[in-house]
Structures are given as structure tokens and as C-alpha cells.
Amino acid sequence: MGVSGVGKSTIGSQLANALGVPFFDGDDYHPKANIEKMGKGQPLTDDDRFGWLQQLNHLASDQIKIQGCVIACSALKESYRQMLQKDILGSVTWVFLSGTFETVKKRILARKNHFMGEALLQSQFDTLEEPTAGVVSVDIRQTPDEIIKYLKAYILEKTQFGVLGLGVMGKSLSRNLGQKGFKLSLFNRHVDALEVEVAQKMVDEHKELSSALPFDDLVSFVQSIQTPRKIMLMVNAGKTVDQVTEDLLPHLSANDILIDGGNSNYLKTKERFDYLKSKQIHFVGAGVSGGEEGALKGPCIMPSGDENAYAEVRPFLEAIAAKDKNDRACCAYIGNEGSGHFVKMVHNGIEYVEMQLLAEVCTLLKHLGNDLDEIAAILSSWKVNANSYLLDITIDILRKKEGSDWLVNKILDKAGNKGTGNWTTIATAQLGVPSTMIATALFARYASAFKEERIAASAHFESKEKPAPSISKEEVLEAYQFARAINHYQGFKLISAASEQHNWKINLSELARIWTNGCIIKSDLMIELVEVLRENQNILDDTAVIDQLQQLKPSTKKVIAAAVLSELPIPCLSESIQFLTNFAVENSAANIIQAQRDYFGAHTYQRNDDESGKAHHTHWSK
């Protein structure tokens, strides 16, 4: 690319020959009307160029499917370049042939029989929007041989994308990228006797990584990647991200892009975003869900940060992401700063609840007299009405045996957590949003950790004989569906509140869409919510959801009441109905609380018979 006269045809044809691919001169694709207009010294308008740019985009798309090619095209504006690389961004390398007006003018004057004369040169320079990112810039004062040598090395020897950190997730994402045909640089630190030649061993073991370049030297790793560099950090969240970033910084160039694919706290992501922006480095916080298998076969990816930086990494992330029912990538730009890690955090909070609900359902079905095989069969029948990934894996878990007993019976009942549920609970408190089920699921895990104290307490308080609750498995299903609807309402409400406070402008329907596959909370319910959230940002305002909850509510109350009478622990199922009962009430008991606050702290209150909204205070003891 570049203005007329910089040598696009000469360099393009020689580069194509050096790479062994076809060459196409964009000028040959101008319609006759454009050529006649330029021949008369009249500059082309954007309307004149539209069809021509579309045709070149189709040409490039077709050639990529065969062997690739080199195309010479002025591509003077950023909007033109966006049109030329539409849907093929990750497969495009831009070469900008740069020269001064005087240098190019001399070349124009030396050419014969070309429709572009000297008179149009100034208009070309006036129109030119020099690319600042995603481009190889070449000074045309070099000889063609020097330019070709440099470009051939850049294209053939430099890689397109780097992955730093080759643990479970980093390894799987690297293999996924390799399967999609991207040329990669892979780095893992060297630790004597512990982590030795990790990247090299990966390349040796996996044929999809045969073209990848392995490194355990950081400088060589960075220098091997095309600029602007795109490096995905797959390291532990927290201080490790900061340490790795500082190690990388001296070797990065302006407009390079770092992508944090770990479970980082969204507030830290904002700090890193602002810090690296001051260093002219882009930072993309990308929540990744799907576990080891998802990372390899197609995860859900939730990227955020500068939107232009996301445009650079989008082809790579979308290529490896799972696909929804319409074959669209389960990856979408979430918003600015740390919004990607925020929605991943809330995803995990919703996940905590979904897991707890299934555990509670198993408790209820067990006390209805079913063994684990029978419970698995019951849950399998629920897939018609409540299908989800977590339901599927729970069925598999219940059926797994070790010897004559079920394996799950041998697992110590102490549930761990990695912090995202805690962060979500803190965020919901800070934002003043009642995501009570997430907090309840988190505290259920915390309570499980006190195993010794629970055993001691059970000797005093647990009934030795617990009567079977007078409920049916169908009623348990309806209570489960009710609770899941409330859980999803609370999760999306939390995201909506954060989006408004931070001005992230998160599209909830699009977020639900990318959560329909690849992630842990994918489900048929999530598919339904795509349309619900397209029409209404508040799930509880949707007519269909309201009708469903009304139908499910009687069974839910019956199940919870029966469980309480039988002393069966179902904290999240109970919280679902308690939340709605507390929330869906026109006049609550909060007036008493506000009066109490005014009594001891003079916090004032508003009166419901005073429409002015002014504050009132009463001396209550007089």
C-alpha cells in the first residue's frame, strides 16, 4: 500500500515471486469509469472506490483459500483498509511503502503511459492516512533487493501470535491456535529440574504446532513476533501478571498488545490497562471459560480494553472460540477497561450457584429414596426441560464407580474455590445489587471447609432420623428451574449495574449469546435469554419469564417447606424463593429499619405522604 509512484507494483510482484504466490495489481481492477476519471486528472471519490475495494476484498478472500497472494493497492484511508481486510484480518500483512512527496514526484515524472499523473499526486498525499498499527513500514529509498530481503524474512520468519505460559490452559489454547493455521511463538520459563524446554517439548509432541517457534528465552521470544506484537499471557492471576508484564516491557514496541487470558480481578485489569496505556502498550483483559477441554476445542472468550486493539486480536480469538447455533464465534468485544474480566467473574458466580443447586437437588432426590444411578437417570430425563453443561457432567459424576461403590461417595465433602466467587460477592455488595444467591453459594462452600466443626455440631443438632420429604421428583425439577431463573436474573442484573456505573455499555443479549457455548454455564436457558435480553434488559420484566415463575412458584414453595421440615440443607434453593418474596413486595419492613437508623443515628427518613422527597428526622424518645 501507499500513494501512487512508491513502487507498489514493482515491490509487490518481486515479493510475490520470492514467496511463490500470485501477484495482483489493484489498478487492473479499476472499472473503466474510474480510469477515465483519473486520466482526466479528477480524484476518485469514496463512492467511486467502493465497488473496487469490495472486488479486491473478494479476490483476497478467494486467494487465501488457495495459497495466498500479494496485492498492490493504494489503500490510502483506514476505512479503505478495513473494507479490504473485511473477514480476513488475521490473514493480512500490510506493507506500507513510505516516501516523501519529492521522492515520489521524481518517480511519477519518470513513468510513461500511466493514468496517474503528477497533478493527482498531491491529492493522494492529502488523502493518505498513514497506518500506525498492524503494518510493516518500509522506506522506499532502499533498493528493491533490500526491501524484498527484509519483507521475506518478516513474513516467513516472524510469527503472527505469541503465547506466554504453557500450563494446562496455555498449552490447550496454543494447540487450538495451531490447529487454525496460525504461526506461533511459544514461551515458558526455564526452571532447572522443574520446567525445562517446555515449549520445545510441546512442539515436538503436537503436529499442529510443527510450525511454531519454541522459546525459554524471553527476549528471543518477543523478537520473533511480527509487530504490532500480539502476546497472550496464560499465567497465574495476581502478582505473576505484573511481574511478567514488567519483564516484557523493555522489549516491546509502541502499539504492541498484551492479552491477559487468566482469571484476573477486573480492578487490577483496569490498573494494568491505564498503566500500559501510558507506555503506549495496549492491554486486553480476556475472560476465558471452558476449562482444559474448552481451551482446546473452543472456549468462550470475553475480551475488553481498547476497541481498536481488540480489532487487531479479534481474528485470533474468534478463530479459536466455540461457535453458537448460528456458527458465530462465542467471542465478542465486551467493553472498555476490565469489563471482560468482570463478566467472567460474574459468569463464575452464576456457575457457583448452578453447581450448588445441582448438589442440593441430589440431596433431595437421595432422601426421596433414590440411589446415585437412579438420581443420574432422573437428571438425564430433565435434559428435555433444563439441559445444561453442568447437568451433563453431574450425571457423568453420579454414574462413575470405583469398585462396587460410587466414586463421588469417597470424595471428602470440602469444596474449594479460587477467589472469583468471593470477588463477585464483594462486587455485588459494593454496587448495592442483591445478588444473594451467589453469596449464598459462596458461603455454602466456606461452611463446607469447616469439616471438623461440622462433625461436632452434627452430634448436637442433626436429627438422626430425617423423614422423606413429601414431594415428587417433578416438583424438585420445577423448584430447580425456578431457582435457576432467579440466579440468572441476579447475575445479569449485577453486570447491568456495573456496566452503567463504569460506562462499559455492555450488550447483555450479545453476552448471553457468547455464553451459549464453550463456557461452563452454557445451557438451553441461556439460549432463551439471548432473545429475552434483546427485548428487555430486566429478565423479571419479561412476560414469558413472569408466567414461567408464576407456574413454578407453588412447587418451589412446597419443596423448600418440605426440605426445611426434613432438615435437609438447601441454602440456594431456599434463597431463590426468599429473594423473590422479599423483592416482589410493594411495602416491605424496611420502614422500620429506617426508623431505627434515624432513632440512634439521626440518619433521617423520607415520608410516603410527602412527595417532595425531603429528609425528615424525629426525636423518637420524646
For residue 298, list its beta bridge partners.
none
Q: Which of 3-7, 199-203, 235-239, 415-419 has the lowest mean pLDDT?
A: 415-419
CA angle 349, 352, 355 (to 5 degrees): 150
What is the predicted pLDDT for the residue at 245? 97
CB of 395 closer than 8 Å to CB of 491 = no
Q: Looking at the predicted structure, is the pLDDT value of residue 522 above 90?
A: yes
- Report the domain count for the chain: 3
Q: Is the pLDDT of residue 117 over 80?
A: no
Which pLDDT band holds residue 67 (cuts at 50, 70, 90)?
A: confident
Residue where one domain finishes, among candidates 307, 337, 367: 337
Q: Is pLDDT of 134 > 70? A: no
Q: Rounded to whole angstroms, how far apart are CA atoms 563 and 468?
A: 9
Q: Please report the DSSP string for 220-234 in residue order.
A: HHHHTBPSSPEEEE-
What is the structure's pLDDT at 113? Answer: 60
Q: Are residues 29 and 98 in the same domain?
A: yes
Instruction: Kindly tell me if the per-residue pLDDT of 199 is higher than 70.
Output: yes
Contact by Cβ (8 Å): 104, 128 = no
Q: What is the Cα–Cα distance from 25 to 2, expressed in whole angstroms?
A: 13
**Predicted pLDDT at 112:** 64
In the predicted structure, residue 57 carries a pLDDT above the cut 60: yes
pLDDT digits (tens, 9 = 90+) for 265-297: 999 999 999 999 999 999 999 999 998 899 999
CATH code of residue 53: 3.40.50.300
Angstrom distance (rounded) from CA 383 to CA 380: 6
Measuring CA to CA, which residue among 541, 508, 540 is closest to residue 526?
508
Q: At what angle do helices 571-583 and 339-367 cross, to 10 degrees?
A: 110
Phi, psi of 100 (to 5 degrees): -75, 165
Which of 156, 172, 190 is the last residue in one of the domains?
A: 156
Q: Where are the beta strands (DSSP E) in 102-155?
A: 135-139
Query: Is 36 annotated in the active site?
Result: no
Q: What pLDDT was estimated at residue 464?
A: 82
Could you tell me how many residues make up the chain?
Answer: 622
Let me know whether 289 and 393 are in one domain: no
Q: How many CB atoms lie within 10 A of CB 409?
A: 9
Helices 307-320 + 168-179 axis angle, to 10: 80
* Residue 66 pLDDT > 90: no
**What does the pLDDT look like over 602-616, one tens digit per residue?**
999 999 999 998 999
Same-domain check for residues 332 and 395: no
Domain match, 111 and 166 both: no
More confident residue, 88 or 571: 571
Same-domain check for residues 369 and 251: no
**Given pLDDT bands bounded at 50, 70 and 90, which one contains residue 366?**
very high
Mean pLDDT of 432-449: 96
Res. 115: pLDDT tops 60 = no
173 and 61 co-located in one domain: no
pLDDT value of position 597: 94
Give the global pTM.
0.83
Which domain CATH number covers 364? 1.10.1040.10
- Specify the range with the lowest mean pLDDT, choosing from 444-453, 458-467, 524-533: 458-467
Choosing from 158, 171, 270, 344, which is the catalytic residue? 344
Domain shared by 474 and 564, yes or no: yes
State the average pLDDT for the chain: 93
**48, 36 Cβ separation under 8 angstroms:** no
Q: What pLDDT is stored for residue 133 in this prediction?
A: 63
Residue 525: domain span = 346-583
69: buried, middle or exposed (CB in 10 Å: 19+, 13-18, 0-12)?
middle
Least trusted range by pLDDT, from 106-110, 206-210, 378-382: 106-110
Same domain? For 148 and 177 the reply is no
**What is residue 100's three-state secondary structure?**
coil
Question: Is residue 53 a contact partner of residue 84, using CB atoms and an 8 Å limit?
Answer: yes
Query: Within this chain, do residues 19 and 151 fall inside the same structural domain, yes or no?
Result: yes
DSSP β-bridge partners for residue 70: 23
Whether residue 54 is contained in a domain is answered as yes
Instruction: Tell me which of 318, 337, 351, 475 is the catalytic residue.
Output: 351
Report the distance separating Cα 583 and Cα 574, nearest Å.
14
**Are the C-beta atoms of 341 and 304 separated by less than 8 Å?**
yes
The DSSP output letter for 339 is H
Confidence of residue 136 (pLDDT cuts 50, 70, 90): confident
In a domain, 327, yes or no: yes
Taking CA atoms, 381 is separated from 386, 392, 591, in Å, by: 9, 11, 46
From 312, 337, 362, the end of a domain falls on 337
Which percentage of the chain shows pLDDT scores above 90?
82
pLDDT at 262 over 80: yes
382 and 356 co-located in one domain: yes
Q: Collapse the DSSP code of 405 into the 3-class scheme (helix H, G, I; strand E, B; otherwise coil) and give the result.
A: strand
Same domain as 279, residue 352: no
Percent of the chain exceeding pLDDT 70 equals 98
Q: Is the dihedral of CA 106, 155, 218, 304 positive or negative?
A: positive
Structural domain includes residue 1: no
351 is catalytic: yes
Q: What span, in angstroms and rounded, lies between the C-alpha atoms of 511 and 340?
A: 10
Domain assignment of residue 618, yes or no:
no
The residue-averaged pLDDT of 462-471 equals 86
Same domain flag for 137 and 251: no
| pLDDT for 119 | 65
| Residue 340 pLDDT level (bands cut at 50, 70, 90) | very high
pLDDT of residue 90 exceeding 70, the answer is no
Q: Flag whether pLDDT at 260 surpasses 60.
A: yes
Q: How many CA atoms lie within 13 A of 478 on its CB side?
A: 18
Quote the radius of gyration of the chain (alpha carbons, Å): 30
101 in a domain, yes or no? yes
| 598 assigned to some structural domain | no
C-alpha distance from residue 364 to each of 34, 456, 526, 568 (Å): 75, 23, 25, 7
Q: What is the pLDDT at residue 467?
A: 84
How many angstroms separate the Cα of 6 from the Cα of each of 41, 72, 99, 263?
19, 11, 7, 47
Determine the Cα angle at 517 with ends 516 and 520, to 5°: 95
Q: Considering the domain boundaries, does residue 455 fall inside one? A: yes
Residue 246 belongs to domain with CATH number: 3.40.50.720
Give residue for cell 453469596.
439
Contact, 527 vs 516, CB < 8 A?
Answer: yes
Say which residue the cell 455464553 belongs to.
Answer: 515
- Bridge partners of residue 274, in order along the sequence: none
Task: Give the pLDDT mean for 213-227.
Answer: 94
* For residues 254-264, average pLDDT: 94
Within-domain flag for 229: yes
pLDDT value at residue 44: 84
Q: What is the average per-residue pLDDT within 174-194?
A: 92
User: CA-CA distance, 580 to 553, in Å (whole number)?
Assistant: 10
